[in-house]
Structure 1
Amino acid sequence: MPPQMKLTAITLDCPDPEALAAFYRQATGLGLHPKSNGDFAGLNCDDGLFIGFQRVDDYQAPCWPNQTVPQQIHLDFAVDDLDEAEALLLELGAAKPEYQPGGDRWRVFTDPAGHPFCLTRAKI
């Protein structure tokens, strides 16, 4: 039997870690990691998962949906109300690309650093 692995952290490259952490903190309500600084910031999830943001010089934002600069990773968030969550995210600085392949099941956004992420309806 293979060893059991538990995902403990996801880290995104970006030009401004503190700004991107602030965006996701306001969007999710997650707590800021106490050791966040100018080159690295993070958020703590209740289940132990850590979301990190690290400064990368000459950062190039992903291009979605084309793959000129591939997205490489994206996050999915479940929400109770897609419209309410969309309004909040746009107010916080997210963008909503014109191309939306999910119909009424999910919506694609990009964070202020250009990373695509999706909102899905929470399962009841």
Structure 2
Amino acid sequence: MSTGNTSAPTIRYSAVTFDCPDPAELARFYGDALGLPVVYSTDDFILLGQESAAGLGFNRVANYRRPTWPDPSQEKQAHIELGTDDLDAARARLLALGAVEPEFQPDPDRWRVLLDPAGHPFCISTLV
């Protein structure tokens, strides 16, 4: 269906939002890990980001159910990939910030899977 307008609107990626039980806790974790400041905050939603760059949002969900990865009984709701130049140092820093390392690691020489404080799996890799 044409509207007569020949120019397409600009569409840009602005953020990914994670459901969680505590937006402040998850925003603190990712803000500290990635050096991102809070750009918007309410009791139920926090957005981290930088001027003119995509951000990360955290949305409070009542009765939130943590992912159980790698057990498929409660599938992961999101997955983020983080790049680093030092896999072991990044792993240690993220664990100190509150991440958890599951026992199962599909390819620990190439990347590490960690769980954020709300249980979302994410990867750190030197490949990204």
Q: TM-score under structure 2 normalisation?
A: 0.87
Q: Give a deviation string over 1:69-109, Cα, whole Å, max 9, x none.
A: 10032000000101111111111110000000023100000
Q: What secondary structure sits across from 1:64 in the alignment?
A: coil
Distance 1:47 1:119, change over 3 A: farther
Residue 113 (1) aligns with residue 118 (2): yes
Aligned twin of 1:40 = 45
Of 17, 21, 26, the residue aligned with 2:27 is 21
Structure 1: segments with no counterpart, 5+ residues = none
Question: 2-side partners of 1:62 and 1:4: how far apart?
Answer: 35
> Structure 1 vs Structure 2: percent identity of aligned residues?
47
Does the CA-based 8 Å contact 1:18-1:37 persist in structure 2?
Answer: no
Give the letter aligned to residue 89 of structure 1.
Answer: L
- Cα RMSD for the two superposed structures: 1.8
Give the letter aligned to residue 114 of structure 1.
Answer: G
Aligned twin of 2:99 = 94
Q: TM-score under structure 1 normalisation?
A: 0.89
Q: What secondary structure sits across from 1:10 in the alignment?
A: strand
Structure 2: segments with no counterpart, 5+ residues = 1-7
Distance 1:80 1:107, change over 3 A: same
Instruction: Provide the aligned length of Structure 1 versus Structure 2.
Output: 121
